[in-house]
């Protein structure tokens, strides 16, 4: 039965109580020139709550149209979803036109979902004049409201939103942040470990009206970091996993990944991971990385093992895939979505009262050793190989797009940090701050700027490739790419703990084609 026919049922008040619902909104993702992935979750009956394993098999229709009124439907179909997939629906729609905005909806048993808007990518050989992405990372439900998502949803000029990891957090309620700093409680209340747990936590996030608005307004391109599974995850374990009380780690990972692919508008790669590549005409190639599934166990900062060539953050297959994709692309810009920062960071001698919160944010030991082994700083051989590849092959215009550390940065990525700037840079990096997760002033419980300006000055003094760092703001970024330059505009929320928070532009940085340098710009793109 076509989707449009399913809409015909007229619901009386008594019947309406028994209708399926689309309580978790709609979403789209991973745009291609000829298609896009559509997502929703249907609740076929009141007892079919996420993770419950209950609820009948349900036919769900979908329509894609050129207009929001669905008078010009271009394709439609019907799928059946079951409790086995937590009643989630993913449809990989093809046969669409490149660089075109479409509207979509789902229907089931007379119930109609919200209408979503999505957009396909330019044709692979198209000479696109510009693309624009929203950038977000690190959205802790209990730390604040998702006003950053609301502000991005309100924009009509984005081709997609890039989520760089920590879409959700695995902690028990009141663990991070502490109860006195929480604005709301997520579900389930305990730390998530099982498949049912991860499903319910994903579902909780997708009840947020601002997140629903973001998904309905723009296609999302997402990668995971660690908290989608457990804090400081690596290939064989995680800092926040105790086998003796929390079971087998591989079983937990399998549950987390399954829930992620059920609940996110993300295509699953053949390896069951998130590293993949999307193209936006001849303007940009987007290489998306998975820096948790294949990495070696972290070592402590200051341990010479960070330079061991047998240690890896990417895994051999992914690093070879990335190098080949970078070398083989004819796009003007190579954008690399990486969940953790690739630029090296040394702190020198910071006062203890400034070092402690930085250590918590960046994973440094409190005694003040100089690197963060959870980032590329802990896997220097992979970084050295990748940067050498960029310089040896003459691959210009590589921009790393990063989340994770709850701060905003604009960096040149040095070939050799110790001799920078004489040794030059191989790429540039824009790091987006957190949507809600704690940063410098939150940890210190002081007014923004009280101490962070001193810390930022010290960081930049010890790292001349760091052109700017903001340690206090929560918000989002907007990346605008043209043949001539890539520009990152940084936006900050007025108060993460207010659902009606405003957003204001605070800084812009750009890298000009062929330069591998970062310079400040006095206004955002319009």
Q: What are φ and ψ of residue 39, in 5° steps? A: -140, 145
Q: Which residues of 150-163 are buried (b: 16+ CB within 10 A; e: fewer)?
A: bbbbeeeebbbbbb
pLDDT digits (tens, 9 = 90+) for 103-140: 999 999 999 999 999 999 999 999 999 999 999 999 99
Task: Please state the rounded mean pLDDT for residues 343-371.
Answer: 60
What is the pLDDT at residue 8? 32
**Cis peptide, bond prior to residue 177, ω within 30 of zero:** yes
217 sits in the region (left: phi over 0; alpha: psi -120 to 50; else beta) called: alpha
**Residue with more model confidence, 196 or 272:** 196
Stretch among 121-125, 166-170, 369-373, 454-458 having the lowest mean pLDDT: 369-373
The pLDDT assigned to 417 comes to 82
**Per-residue model confidence as pLDDT tens digits over 155-164:** 999 999 999 9
Residue 17 has pLDDT above 90, yes or no: no
The domains of the chain are located at: 3-119, 131-521
Residue 13 confidence (pLDDT)? 42
Give the residue among 142, 271, 307, 284 at the shortest CA–CA distance from 221. 284
Q: Is 352 exposed, middle or buried (0-12, 13-18, 19+ CB in 10 A)?
A: exposed
Q: Could you tell me how far CA 290 lies from the centroid of its own chain?
A: 11
d(CA 416, CA 421): 9
* pLDDT of the residue at 371: 61
- Higher-confidence residue: 477 or 302? 477
What is the Cα–Cα distance from 202 to 24, expressed in whole angstroms? 10
Average pLDDT, stretch 457-473?
Answer: 91
Determine the Cα–Cα distance for residues 429 and 165; give it in Å rounded to an integer. Answer: 16
Helix (H) or strand (E) holding 257: helix 249-263
- 352-362 vs 452-462: helix axis angle to the nearest 10? 80
3-119 to CATH, choices 2.60.40.380, 3.40.30.10, 3.30.450.20, 2.60.120.620: 2.60.40.380
347 pLDDT above the threshold of 80: no
Span 243-257, average pLDDT: 96
Residue 339 DSSP class: S
3-state helix, strand, coil in the chain (%, to 5): 25, 25, 50
Strand intervals (E) in 19-72: 26-32, 35-41, 58-65
pLDDT of 362: 63
Q: Do β-strands 131-136 and 160-163 pair in parallel, antiparallel, or remain unpaired?
A: parallel
Tell which wins on pLDDT, 365 or 91.
Answer: 91
Residue 9 has pLDDT above 50, yes or no: no
Residue 87 confidence (pLDDT): 98
Task: Tell me what the mean pLDDT of segment 441-447 comes to.
Answer: 85
- Alpha-carbon distance of 218 to 234, in angstroms, equals 31
Structure confidence by residue, pLDDT tens digits, 401-437: 999 999 999 999 999 887 889 889 999 999 999 999 9
Region of 26 (left: φ > 0; alpha: ψ -120 to 50; beta: rest) is beta
Q: Report the top-level CATH class of 131-521.
A: alpha beta
Mean pLDDT to the nearest integer, 182-190: 97
């Amino acid at each position: 039965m076509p989707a449009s026919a399913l809409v015909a049922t007229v619901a009386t008040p008594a019947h309406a109580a028994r209708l399926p619902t689309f309580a978790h909104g709609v979403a789209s993702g991973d745009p291609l020139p000829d298609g896009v992935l559509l997502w929703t979750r249907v609740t076929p009956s009141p007892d079919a709550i996420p993770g419950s394993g209950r609820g009948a098999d349900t036919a769900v229709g979908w329509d894609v149209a050129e207009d929001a009124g669905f008078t010009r439907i271009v394709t439609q179909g019907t799928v059946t979803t079951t409790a086995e997939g937590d009643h989630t629906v993913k449809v990989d729609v093809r046969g669409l036109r490149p660089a075109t905005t479409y509207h979509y909806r789902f229907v089931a048993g007379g119930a109609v979902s919200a209408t979503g808007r999505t957009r396909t990518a330019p044709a692979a050989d198209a000479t696109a004049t510009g693309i624009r992405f929203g950038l977000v990372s690190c959205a802790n439900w209990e730390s604040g409201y998702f006003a950053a998502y609301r502000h991005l949803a309100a924009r009509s000029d984005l081709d997609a939103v890039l989520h760089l990891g920590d879409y959700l957090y695995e902690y028990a309620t009141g663990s991070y942040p502490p109860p006195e700093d929480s604005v709301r409680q997520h579900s389930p209340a305990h730390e998530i470990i099982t498949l049912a747990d991860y499903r319910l936590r994903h579902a909780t996030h997708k009840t947020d009206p601002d997140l629903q608005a973001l998904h309905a307004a723009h296609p999302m391109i997402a990668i995971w970091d660690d908290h989608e599974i457990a804090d400081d995850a690596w290939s064989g374990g995680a800092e926040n996993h105790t086998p003796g009380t929390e079971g087998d780690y591989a079983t937990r990972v399998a549950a987390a990944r399954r829930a992620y692919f059920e609940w996110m508008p993300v295509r699953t790669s053949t390896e069951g991971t998130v590293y993949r590549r999307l193209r936006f005409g001849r303007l940009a190639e987007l290489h998306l990385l998975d820096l948790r599934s294949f990495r070696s166990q972290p070592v402590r900062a200051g341990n010479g093992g960070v330079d061991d060539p047998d240690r890896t953050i990417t895994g051999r297959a992914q690093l070879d895939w990335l190098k080949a994709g970078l070398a083989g692309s004819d796009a003007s810009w190579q954008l690399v979505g990486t969940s953790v920062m690739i630029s090296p960071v040394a702190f020198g001698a910071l006062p203890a009262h400034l070092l402690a919160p930085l250590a918590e944010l960046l994973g440094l030991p409190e005694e003040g050793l100089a690197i963060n082994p959870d980032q590329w700083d802990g896997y220097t051989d992979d970084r050295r190989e990748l940067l050498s590849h960029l310089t040896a092959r003459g691959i210009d215009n590589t921009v790393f797009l990063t989340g994770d550390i709850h701060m905003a940065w604009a960096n040149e990525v040095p070939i050799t940090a110790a001799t920078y700037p004489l040794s030059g840079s191989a790429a540039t990096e824009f790091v987006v701050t957190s949507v809600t997760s704690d940063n410098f002033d939150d940890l210190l419980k002081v007014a923004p700027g009280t101490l962070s300006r001193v810390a930022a000055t010290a960081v930049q003094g010890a790292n001349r490739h760091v052109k700017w760092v903001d340690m206090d703001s929560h918000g989002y970024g907007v990346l605008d790419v043209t043949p001539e330059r890539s520009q990152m505009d940084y936006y900050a929320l007025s108060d993460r703990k207010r659902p009606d928070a405003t957003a204001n532009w605070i800084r812009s940085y750009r890298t000009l084609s062929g330069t591998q340098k970062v310079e400040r710009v006095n206004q955002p793109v319009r």
